[in-house]
Amino acid sequence: MTVQGETAQSAGPLTTEAGAPVADNQNSETAGVGGPVLVQDQSLLEKLAHFNRERIPERVVHARGAGAYGTFTVTADVTRYTRAHFLSEVGKQTETFLRFSTVAGNLGAPDAVRDPRGFSLKFYTEEGNYDLVGNNTPVFFVRDAIKFPDFIHTQKRDPYTGSQEADNVWDFWGLSPESTHQVTWLFGDRGIPASYRHMDGFSSHTYQWNNAAGEAFWVKYHFKTDQGIKNLRAEEAAVLAGQDPDSHQRDLRTAIERGEFPSWTVQIQVMPVADAATYRFNPFDLTKVWPHADYPPIEFGKLELNRNPENVFAEVEQSIFSPAHFVPGIGPSPDKMLQGRLFAYGDAHRYRVGINADHLPVNRPHATEARNYSRDGLAYDGRHGGAKNYEPNSFGGPAQTNAPSWQPIAVSGITGSETTPLHAEDNDFVQAGNLYRLMSEDEKERLIANLAGSISQVSREDIAERAIANFRKADADYGKRLEAAVQALRG
């Protein structure tokens, strides 16, 4: 490999894609001197055609990101909660790949913006790849997948102006009061991390763990940065985003090049299944956290990132992560957002990278092998050779295990378009108010200034007022100060 900056030494003849030598890579072939270009110059045509096809569709969300390989190490025994092999003993290590991202920006967007950060982690386990596709926030804006495309439309470019519009953002949030908690988080100090290394990660969703005795537990994952939390103020971020749009990506790559391997302490909150029905908050509502006083986090692992990808397109752009990639001992919860995501990611991968996306080097299992009867499709690599492509068969092909990865859950009632049930202390504002009241006076001031700066750009009074009303419901002081700050900016 020629390293950037080195003088390239010839590594033998330049060839076409078919391996034939190329005589001239500087001048295309013409009819006579100064005449038109000839169709017979196949190396020119091939080069232009390949160039036209260099891009694949960018991710519809989280398009902008950076990734690195690493190691997950078990640091405490969790076998009483899960039978997942990669968590089976203290000291056990599993190779990982982590992709960080922002949500709303396109592929070339700046890193230092106010936006949640994606935290997509692939564990290459001996029982198959396990993906946790989380964020740096423990909660989300909405609690039903059916609202996700509408929400994202308000974060992306307006169909008429072609830009992100404050009107759309605040219209949707004002009309979706369940977003108040996550919006408070986003406009607070943690809304613009200084780098990917200086932020936490969360599963956000509740998942199921189940042990060898068949007992199930509801769990939430937390990845606490060992580098310490560092954030950017709005003014600092605005400068950095302009001066170094790739700031987070560069920071991650160069830290690993220097041997400063970032790490996270991995914790789990565990809720006994029997608690779920009567817990004060609906444990499957993604707009809520489980307060640590109720379910204290238990430390069980260390995640370290220690190797940069060699090729960003092959390993980061083509990487795929799916919340539906489980291994035995881990499974879904009935969280309505998660359930929608179980469909959405595989569908996105098939569109964006193709039907054989799972078999690219970064995506395929590294500690086991994928063995099934699916075959062929675009860019199939022939990995099954001549093996039989049907089941059952009499030729010793792979067979089902009869061992489901997760435990069944109890359900009740009849089918219907139901809202997420409210538990005793549930409403859309309680945890947003709690978060506000936890902040220091300085933090509150910055939160109000950040929110007011954004809401004051809204063109319609009713949209701005509806948005402010949600914060008022979270905390009277929060609403009052925000209203005054918006009025001061609007004049």
* Amino acid sitting at position 346: G
Question: Is residue 135 flagged as an active site residue?
Answer: yes
Stretch that binds ligand HEM, among 22-30, 185-193, 263-271, 334-342 (CB under 6 A): 334-342
Q: Which is nearer to ligand HEM, 43 or 102 (CB)?
A: 102
Three-class SS of residue 303? Answer: strand
Q: Which pair of structure tokens corresponds to residue 143?
A: 């609690």
Stretch that binds ligand HEM, among 25-33, 55-63, 190-198, 435-443 (CB under 6 A): 55-63
Report in angstroms how near the CB of residue 325 gets to ligand HEM at its nearest.
Answer: 12
Q: Which is nearer to ligand HEM, 43 or 136 (CB)?
A: 136
Three-class SS of residue 117? Answer: strand
Q: Report how far apart, in Å, the C-alpha atoms of 439 and of each of 137, 223, 434, 436 are.
A: 16, 22, 9, 5
State which of residues 90, 312, 344, 439 lies at the interface with ligand HEM (CB under 6 A). 344
Report in angstroms how near the CB of residue 391 gets to ligand HEM at its nearest.
Answer: 29
Report in angstroms how near the CB of residue 118 gets to ligand HEM at its nearest.
Answer: 3
Do the beta carbons of residue 101 and residue 65 sit within 8 Å? Answer: yes
Q: Return the HEC string of 308-341.
A: CCCCHHHHHHCCCCCCCCCCCCEECCCCHHHHHH
Closest CA to 464 of 480, 487, 445, 446: 487
Question: Is residue 393 flagged as an active site residue?
Answer: no
Closest CA to 219 of 111, 300, 322: 300
Sequence-ordered list of residues with C-beta below 8 angstroms from that of 149, at least 6 positions apart, any chain:
none
Quick one: residue 197, left, alpha or beta (phi over 0 = left, psi -120 to 50 = alpha)?
A: alpha
Query: Packing angle between helix 441-455 and helix 461-474, nearest 10 degrees?
Result: 160
Task: Determine the Cα–Cα distance for residues 211 and 406; give it in Å rounded to an integer.
Answer: 9
Catalytic-role residue among 129, 135, 210, 282:
135
Task: Determine the Cα–Cα distance for residues 32 and 52; give it in Å rounded to an integer.
Answer: 28
Decide if residue 148 touches ligand HEM (CB under 6 A).
yes
State which of residues 68, 87, 112, 133 lies at the interface with ligand HEM (CB under 6 A). 133
Stretch that binds ligand HEM, among 87-95, 167-175, 338-346, 449-457 (CB under 6 A): 338-346
Decide if residue 182 touches ligand HEM (CB under 6 A).
no
Name the E strands within 384-460: none
Decide if residue 305 touches ligand HEM (CB under 6 A).
no
State which of residues 92, 157, 307, 352 lies at the interface with ligand HEM (CB under 6 A). 352
State which of residues 118, 188, 201, 301 lies at the interface with ligand HEM (CB under 6 A). 118
Decide if residue 268 touches ligand HEM (CB under 6 A).
no
Decide if residue 249 touches ligand HEM (CB under 6 A).
no
Q: Dihedrals φ, ψ of 297, to 5°? A: -65, 140
**Residue of minimal Cβ distance to ligand HEM:** 118
Q: What is the DSSP letter of 231?
A: B
Q: Which pair of structure tokens corresponds to residue 442?
A: 């300085």
State which of residues 229, 342, 348, 367 lies at the interface with ligand HEM (CB under 6 A). 348
Report in angstroms how near the CB of residue 134 gets to ligand HEM at its nearest.
Answer: 5
State which of residues 61, 166, 186, 463 lies at the interface with ligand HEM (CB under 6 A). 61
Q: How many CB atoms lie within 10 A of CB 407?
A: 16
Q: Which is nearer to ligand HEM, 124 or 478 (CB)?
A: 124
Decide if residue 321 touches ligand HEM (CB under 6 A).
yes
Report in angstroms how near the CB of residue 103 gets to ligand HEM at its nearest.
Answer: 7
Q: Which is nearer to ligand HEM, 43 or 204 (CB)?
A: 204
Closest CA to 446 of 138, 114, 197, 221: 114
Catalytic-role residue among 27, 50, 52, 62:
62
**Residue 345 labelled as part of a binding site:** yes
- The count of chain residues that interact with ligand HEM, using the rule CB under 6 A, is 27
Angle at 216 between CA 213 and CA 220, to 5 degrees: 135
Decide if residue 302 touches ligand HEM (CB under 6 A).
no
Q: Which is nearer to ligand HEM, 149 or 228 (CB)?
A: 149
Q: Which pair of structure tokens corresponds to residue 64?
A: 């902008």
Residue length of the chain = 491
Decide if residue 101 touches ligand HEM (CB under 6 A).
yes
State which of residues 82, 94, 120, 184 lies at the interface with ligand HEM (CB under 6 A). 120
Closest CA to 64 of 111, 98, 25: 111
Decide if residue 135 touches ligand HEM (CB under 6 A).
yes
Give the CA dihedral 5, 242, 167, 199, nearest 10 degrees: 70
Report in angstroms how near the CB of residue 304 gets to ligand HEM at its nearest.
Answer: 19
Task: Determine the Cα–Cα distance for residues 242 and 264; give it in Å rounded to an integer.
Answer: 29
State which of residues 204, 210, 249, 450 lies at the interface with ligand HEM (CB under 6 A). 204
What residues form the annotated binding site for heme? Answer: 345
What residues form the annotated binding site? Answer: 345
Residues with active-site annotation: 62, 135
Per CB under 6 A, residues contacting ligand HEM are 59-62, 65, 99, 101, 118, 120, 133-135, 140, 145, 148, 204, 319-321, 337, 340-341, 344-345, 348-349, 352
